[in-house]
């Protein structure tokens, strides 16, 4: 008889967004007249920019011709896209990343979730708390997380790095062992960003300990303060200890189009083995590449027109973030993030629980947010608000919250 992977059975039942969905559906059932504003799930709302659409139309037309048809492409991505990424996202910023270190994929979610394939199960994994749940759940599925304790909301074998207001939501380096460390900056959910000095300390520690930093910079396009690093590879020493995940999802509205990439430097070696070669082996075995049409669309992001157009989209969301941040601060809420990230991390008033504040905003302001507790124990006492909505909705949501709390 077949046996299932028991690690899946250890995962806690309700995923954050399904519980939110249930509560919203119940409220909408009771109050069908209520017009909800959804500032919860981190999906984008602005359409693809014209440069991307035109490039995909051209590529789709090519696919309909005998000369322009493309079947299976290279698993690592077409050279035209890998070269464009290397040039624009790295070399133009003085960062030495070459095309052969870039693996194009269908999403940073897949890459973050799959990266564990190339690491031994006996590694100790450290995650930020609160955290993007994919890092935790994918390690739990692999059997690297131990047992889940519902009382604490923690897995027995994971090392949790608290990200709290006292440390500016940037985790301290652990005193004990940690082999694989997931860092995410700009951060989902707190909206925090790490400085060069903070990242340098992590890089030096990782090199000294033989650890690997799994650096998720899916929100890199939202960094607005010029002194902040956009890539871990801007930090000296990172090429021997870090892997970086990036995505076109939030940069260029590709959440439904699906294109991302992961950088595995050739100098990154553990147990005498190149991690670039291992990831290449993993991808060529289990992944068959991103559609040609989509990769042509992603390439168009790097044209002068594409750059200008995506900059405008990001600026639109950044204005929303400012409206939300300033509007909520005006009613006396403690707000964080929203400057270098599309997320605003809001402390609940008077020590309310995350889910209670979520329910209050849902029921009284008809605004859907995300309870911080859903991202980990240290997220209790916060909600996450996203800037990805439409501008008029962001403004209206702020007004409604102000009238409920004011
Ligand atoms: N990484 C972080 C931190 C995210 O918040 C998200 C999506 O919300 C992703 C990765 C997923 O990106 P993609 O759409 O490329 O799978």
Taking the centre of ligand 1 as the mean of its atom positions, its distance from the CA of residue 248, in whole angstroms, is 9
Ligand 1 proximity of 89 Cβ (cutoff 6 Å): no
Structural domain count of the chain: 2
CA 30 / ligand 1 centre spacing (Å): 33
Among all chains, which residue has been given the structure tokens 């020590």? 351
Instruction: Confirm whether 362 is domain-assigned.
Output: yes
Peptide bond preceding 186: is omega within 30 degrees of 0, i.e. cis?
yes
DSSP 8-state class, residue 184: E
Are residues 338 and 399 both part of a single domain?
Answer: yes
User: Cis (ω within 30 of 0) for the bond into 291?
Assistant: no
pLDDT of residue 14: 66
The pLDDT tens digits for 37-72 are 999 878 999 999 999 999 999 999 999 999 999 999
Domain that holds residue 109: 52-303
Each residue's pLDDT tens digit, 376-401: 999 999 999 999 999 999 999 999 99
57/78 Cα distance (integer angstroms): 18
* Residue of 250, 261, 294 best suited for mutating to test ligand 1, as the one with most atoms within 8 Å of CB: 250
Check if the beta carbon of residue 154 is closer than 8 Å to that of residue 160.
Answer: yes
- Hey, what are 214's tokens? 């799994």
* Structure-token pair, residue 157: 């074998």
Q: Do 11 and 142 meet the contact criterion of CB atoms below 8 Å apart?
A: no
Residue 186 Cβ inside 6 Å of ligand 1? The answer reads no
Q: Give the per-residue pLDDT at 42.
A: 84
pTM for the full model?
0.97
Cα dihedral 360, 363, 364, 367 in deg (nearest 10): 90
| Residues facing residue 346 across a β-bridge | 335, 383
Last residue in a domain, options 257, 276, 303: 303
182 and 278 assigned to the same domain: yes
CB 163, CB 128: distance < 8 Å:
yes
The per-residue pLDDT for 18 is: 86
d(CA 133, CA 120): 21
Q: Is residue 1 part of a domain?
A: no
Instruction: Determine which residue's CA is closest to atom 3 belonging to ligand 1.
Output: 188
Q: Same domain, yes or no, for 344 and 276? A: no
Give the model confidence (pLDDT) of 248-270 as tens digits.
999 999 999 999 999 999 999 99
CA of 15 to the centre of ligand 1 (A): 16
Cα 62 to middle of ligand 1, angstroms: 30
Strands (E), 154-257: 154-155, 159-162, 180-184, 212-216, 242-247
Residues of the chain with pLDDT under 50: none
Q: What is the mean pLDDT of the chain?
A: 97
CATH of the domain at 320: 3.90.1150.10
Do 405 and 346 touch, CB atoms closer than 8 A?
no
State yes or no: cis peptide before 189, omega within 30 of 0: yes
255, 284, 303 - which closes a domain: 303
Same domain, 190 and 134: yes
Q: What angle do CA 63, 106, 12 make, to 5 degrees?
A: 145
- Ligand 1 pocket check: which of 42, 109, 114, 342 to mutate, most ligand atoms within 8 Å of Cβ? 109
């Amino acid at each position: 008889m077949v046996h299932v992977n028991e690690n899946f059975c250890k995962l806690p039942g309700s995923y954050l967004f399904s519980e939110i969905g249930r509560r919203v559906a119940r409220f909408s059932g009771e109050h069908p007249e209520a017009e909800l504003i959804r500032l919860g799930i981190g999906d984008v709302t602005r359409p693809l920019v014209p440069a991307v659409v035109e490039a995909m139309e051209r590529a789709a037309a090519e696919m309909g011709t005998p000369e322009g048809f493309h079947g299976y492409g290279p698993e690592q991505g077409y050279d035209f896209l890998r070269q464009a990424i290397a040039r624009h996202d790295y070399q133009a910023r003085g960062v030495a990343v070459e095309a052969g270190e870039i693996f194009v994929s269908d999403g940073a979610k897949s890459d973050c979730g799959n990266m564990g394939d190339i690491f031994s199960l006996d590694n100790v994994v450290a995650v930020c708390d609160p955290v993007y749940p994919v890092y935790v759940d994918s390690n739990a599925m692999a059997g690297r997380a131990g047992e889940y304790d519902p009382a604490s909301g923690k897995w027995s074998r994971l090392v949790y790095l608290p990200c709290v207001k006292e440390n500016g939501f940037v985790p301290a380096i652990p005193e004990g062992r940690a082999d694989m460390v997931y860092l995410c900056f700009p951060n989902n959910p707190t909206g925090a960003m790490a400085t060069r000095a903070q990242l340098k300390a992590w890089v030096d520690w990782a090199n000294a300990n033989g650890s690997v930093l799994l650096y998720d910079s899916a929100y890199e396009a939202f960094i607005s303060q010029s002194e902040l690093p956009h890539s871990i590879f801007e930090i000296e020493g990172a090429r021997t200890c870090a892997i970086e995940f990036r995505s076109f999802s939030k940069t260029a509205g590709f959440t439904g189009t699906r294109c991302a990439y992961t950088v595995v430097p050739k100098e990154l070696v553990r147990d005498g083995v190149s991690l670039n070669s291992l990831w290449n082996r993993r991808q060529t075995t289990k992944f068959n590449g991103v559609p040609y049409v989509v990769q042509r669309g992603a390439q168009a992001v790097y044209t002068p027109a594409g750059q200008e157009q995506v900059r405008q989209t990001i600026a639109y969301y950044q204005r929303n973030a400012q409206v939300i941040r300033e509007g909520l601060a005006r009613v006396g809420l403690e707000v964080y993030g929203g400057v270098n990230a599309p997320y605003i991390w809001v402390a609940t008033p008077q020590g309310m629980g995350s889910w209670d504040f979520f329910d209050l905003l849902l029921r009284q302001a008809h605004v859907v947010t995300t309870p911080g507790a859903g991202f980990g124990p240290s997220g209790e006492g916060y909600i996450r608000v996203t800037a990805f909505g439409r501008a008029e909705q962001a403004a209206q949501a702020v007004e409604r919250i102000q009238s409920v709390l004011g």
